[in-house]
Amino acid sequence: MKRLFTTMSAAALTMAAGAAQAADDVTLQLKWVTQAQFGGYYVALDKGFYEEEDLDVTIKPGGPDIAPVQVLMGGGADVMVDWMPSALAAREKGAPIVNIAQPFASSGLMLTCLKEHGITSPEDFPGHTLGTWFFGNEIPLYTWMGKLGIPTDGSEEGVTIQKINFNVDPLLQKQVECATTMTYNEYWQVIDAGLTPDDLVVFKYEDEGISTLEDGLYVVEDKLEDPEFVDKMVRFVRASMKGWKWAEENPEAAAMIVLENDTTGAQTEKHQVRMMKEIAKLTAGSDGELDPEAYERTVEIVKSGGVIEEEPEGAWTHKITDKALD
């Protein structure tokens, strides 16, 4: 009996220890579908960086019918990836979301034009049609035209801003002379369609001074009052940034990890490797801490574009990154 009791006690202690060490659950909602744009998170999951921080992370892909803010506010995720302009707009409309980390230091947004239309500088824009995505993505373009003094009323002295879907078909079919592209995605769709860099003229928003903060991490504000949640986010950000740095140094291997997590089978190795190498340029130099100057620039661009009326208070915090980087 004594031996049986000892065995049972040991088993009970083992179970209790296991329960005490159970990993904390974290659900991340992505802004878009599974692709190298989110490579750092998939690397952190695959390489056990989250596990090292006692986290059990679930990554939810996004898509055209998924609004990350709604998922976050509805409790379907603990943290989400979003662009700052849409996050600021959502906050002004009543969604109390806060940026807790900024893995992307630079913008990948640019305007790609067909050289055959004679556009070699911004001064050549008048009289042409510029295609862009909406849902907040159009704001930097409208702001740029405002800075240049170019009307967006479709007149001969101005430009026509045309809403396009998230592809480059309107550019290839010459429905627009220029189209919004990302350095890591749509630009290469144009190249894969048979055009060469010599056929194109590109204007990077970063170079034009109209770039806004992209892919940041956001949570619901009141959760930051919970010490346990804060601790969980500190560990999550620390592991995620470790994943991003690994992806920067190993872009091809990181792309393969992304492909392993793509349940749709829609992505190709060539495109994901190329994307990961371009994404590495955007996360380079970032330790996850949001740059206040980049935030202020983003706010001014979003305000001038009419998306928000005032700079919202409490839209970002260093509370998480200060501890994650300590």
8: in domain? no
Any domain includes 87: yes
Question: What tens digit of pLDDT does each residue of 98-149 get?
Answer: 999 999 999 999 999 999 999 999 999 999 999 998 876 788 898 899 889 9
Please indicate, yes or no, if residue 152 is contained in any of the structural domains.
yes
Domain membership of residue 59 (yes or no) is: yes
Mark whether 45 and 165 lie in a shared domain. no
What share of the chain in percent tops pLDDT 70?
Answer: 93
Residues in the chain: 326
Residues 313 and 225 in one domain: yes
- Residue that terminates a domain, selected from 177, 192, 208: 208
pTM of the model: 0.89
Name the domain count of the chain. 2
Q: What is the Cα–Cα distance from 273 to 276, expressed in whole angstroms?
A: 5
Whether 19 is covered by a domain: the verdict is: no
In a domain, residue 311? The reply is yes
Question: 307 and 232: one domain?
Answer: yes
CATH number at residue 286: 3.40.190.10
Residues 141 and 67 in one domain: no
Do 317 and 218 fall into the same domain? Answer: yes
> In this predicted model, what pLDDT tens digit does every residue of 107-121 receive, in sequence order?
999 999 999 999 999
